[in-house]
Amino acid sequence: MEDASTIVIYSSPEHLNTMFLLAKFITKNQLTVRVTVLCSAPAPAEVQDLASVTYHRIPEAVPSVPIDDLVEQFFEIPRLSNADVRNALQEISRKFKIDALVIDFFCYSAFEVSTSLNIPTYFYISAGGFAACFLFYFLVIDENVHGNIADLDEFLECPGGPPVHTSELPKLIAFRRNKTYQHFLRTAMEAKKSKGILVNSFDALEFRAKEALSNGLCVPNGVSPPVYFVGPLIGETAGKSNGGVHECVKWLDSQPNRSVIFLCFGRRGLFSAKQVKEIAVGLENSGHRFLWSVRRPPEMQSSSPAGEFELDEILPDGFLERTKKRGLVIQSWAPQKEVLSHNSVGAFVTHCGRSSILEAVSFGVPMIGWPIYAEQHMNRVLLVEEFKLGLPLSAAPAPADGFVTAEVLESRIREMMESETGRAIRHRTSEMKVSAAAAVRGNGTSVAALEQFVRSLREG
């Protein structure tokens, strides 16, 4: 066995990108540490350029019975991979001393494997500080709420953040007998027993959440593991696509400073054709410049090859012609980081995914929150009420079908771009941009937290 020590990061395929960013952050700031990333997905291309990061691919587990629920798959497939995880850890241990295993939220089942091998085990919460608070507080909720959360109509006051209405919580925990509810509960139990929690956040953004975690306010007995805020981890901007600058970046180059509304809703953010038309009307009536990443509506999925459709099929008649001087619509993929980092972008209409929020914060772009699924509704509450870096798409609760009218979108765009409220949000966002950069630079708070984490490993 070599003397060099290793931190093993075990990721689900769903969170590989953000877990790989953690690996890069560790090796960039701790030059004597090796990191091995363990996952069943193919290795990221950039692994070959990183001398201190190795990739260990394990076989992809296949459930004996198909699992229809996507989130349940994210939990179940790692659980079925425990034997391969054990083999991988034993193989790595024959060459290196494993100082720690850092496991993804979805891979909580590996905690049993690592503890049986006497490997110190940590959790990485990519969803942020308040998400970590809520994960622990879920133990309190489970203990005190005897029915289904879906049956409640009240605000929950979780330490570390603003009150969140039960309708804003992730649907995966709405029903007690649901398998994802049980997975979430087990994750909380295992995380509470872990050696520590690493979080993709930074002090200036979520200081209250960090204090709640550090002081044990979120757990039933007031004792929780150490917490290390090591973000924001967002990756680097490349500025290129398919060997050149993306067309939308070239278009942004010709637009005035901070004038463009950017609309992008993540890889699973699909809207009906009716909703797409309504968005178009709202953009046109707002009078503001826009860059809009449009994906094929669900009802067209079976009739068109993947990624191929005509914009005229789903947009109002004449829309592209009428708005061509102040708007650009692109199909499907957009280089989000490159767009958000561009000086022409003045606001971001987002689905409130955690990565998107951190990217916008890091580039100083105020947001309009349009959550769609998972924890995004809770993230919208944080964005508006806690961070004060954005506006909600609608002031009232969203309609049951989630449909948003053109008038609502137009109103929010105008409020962000034309009102004193919008001006105050832009000012705060520009300040938070500076704090985000400082956290991961030099002696920043996140670099210091990483040093503390590594030091605790060496001290045993």
pLDDT band at 241 (very low <50, low <70, confident <90, very high): very low
Q: Give the pLDDT score at 331.
A: 87
356 located within any domain = yes
Record the pTM.
Answer: 0.94
241 located within any domain = no
Q: Give the chain's radius of gyration (CA, Å).
A: 22
Based on the structure, what is the number of domains in the chain? 2
239 located within any domain = no
- Taking only the tens place, the pLDDT of each residue in 35-85 is 999 999 999 888 888 888 999 999 999 998 888 888 999 999 999 999 999
Please say if the pLDDT value at position 304 is more than 70: no
Shared domain for 21 and 157, answered yes or no, is yes
Q: What is the mean pLDDT of residues 1-8?
A: 72
CA angle, 191 then 194 then 198, to 5° = 75
Round to whole Å and give the CA distance between 113 and 107. Answer: 11
Q: What percent of the chain has pLDDT over 90?
A: 77
Round to whole Å and give the CA distance between 299 and 181. Answer: 30
Distances from the Cα of 109 to the Cαs of 12, 37, 64, 138, 179, in angstroms?
Answer: 11, 17, 18, 18, 14
Shared domain for 34 and 156, answered yes or no, is yes
Round to whole Å and give the CA distance between 119 and 98. Answer: 7
Could you give the angle at which helices 445-458 and 203-214 cross, rounded to 10 degrees? 40
Task: Kindly state the tokens that stand for 116.
Answer: 């049986």
User: Reduced to 3 states, what is the DSSP secondary structure of residue 435?
Assistant: helix
Q: Give the pLDDT score at 3.
A: 57
Nearest Cα neighbor of 408 from 399, 420, 400 is 399
pLDDT band at 374 (very low <50, low <70, confident <90, very high): confident
- Taking only the tens place, the pLDDT of each residue in 265-279 is 988 788 999 999 999
Please say if the pLDDT value at position 109 is more than 90: yes
Please say if the pLDDT value at position 388 is more than 60: yes
Shared domain for 196 and 342, answered yes or no, is no
Shared domain for 252 and 151, answered yes or no, is no
Q: What is the mean pLDDT of residues 195-216?
A: 97
List CB contacts of 216: < 8 A, sequence separation 6 or more. 222, 223, 224
What CATH number does residue 200 fall under?
A: 3.40.50.2000
Round to whole Å and give the CA distance between 279 and 238. Answer: 29
- Reported as half-sphere exposure (CB side, CA atoms, 13 A), residue 435 has a value of 15
Q: pLDDT higher for 256 or 460?
A: 256
Shared domain for 117 and 19, answered yes or no, is yes
Shared domain for 78 and 125, answered yes or no, is yes
263 located within any domain = yes
240 located within any domain = no
Q: What is the mean pLDDT of residues 188-192?
A: 97
242 located within any domain = no
- Taking only the tens place, the pLDDT of each residue in 172-187 is 899 998 999 999 999 9
- 224 φ, ψ to 5°? -130, 160
Catalytic residues: 15, 104
Shared domain for 13 and 61, answered yes or no, is yes
CA angle, 393 then 397 then 401, to 5° = 90
Q: Give the pLDDT score at 49.
A: 82
Shared domain for 202 and 321, answered yes or no, is no
Q: Give the pLDDT score at 171.
A: 87
List CB contacts of 43: < 8 A, sequence separation 6 or more. 37, 55, 57
Q: What is the mean pLDDT of residues 147-151?
A: 91
Shared domain for 290 and 391, answered yes or no, is yes
Please say if the pLDDT value at position 243 is more than 70: no
pLDDT band at 312 (very low <50, low <70, confident <90, very high): confident
Shared domain for 205 and 322, answered yes or no, is no
Shared domain for 25 and 77, answered yes or no, is yes
229 located within any domain = yes
List CB contacts of 438: < 8 A, sequence separation 6 or more. 204, 444, 445
Terminus-to-terminus CA distance in the chain, angstroms? 19
Between 64-73, 308-317, 392-401, the lowest mean confidence (pLDDT) is in 392-401
Q: Where are the alpha helices (DSSP H) in 326-419?
A: 336-340, 354-362, 376-381, 406-418
Compute the mean pLDDT over every residue in the chain, rounded to the nearest whole number.
92
Please say if the pLDDT value at position 292 is more than 90: yes
Whose tokens are 């049980």? That residue is 182
- In three-state form (DSSP H/G/I as H, E/B as E, the rest C), the secondary structure along 250-279 is HHHHCCCCCCEEEEECCCCCCCCHHHHHHH
Between 197-201, 228-232, 279-283, 392-396, the lowest mean confidence (pLDDT) is in 392-396
Q: What is the mean pLDDT of residues 15-26?
A: 95
List CB contacts of 182: < 8 A, sequence separation 6 or more. none
Round to whole Å and give the CA distance between 48 and 43. Answer: 9
194 located within any domain = yes
Q: Give the pLDDT score at 163.
A: 96
Shared domain for 446 and 428, answered yes or no, is no
Instruction: Characterize the bridge pairing of strands 155-156 and 164-165.
Output: antiparallel
Q: pLDDT higher for 294 or 312?
A: 294
Query: For residue 312, what are the domain limits?
Result: 247-437
Q: Give the pLDDT score at 176.
A: 92
Q: Give the pLDDT score at 328.
A: 97
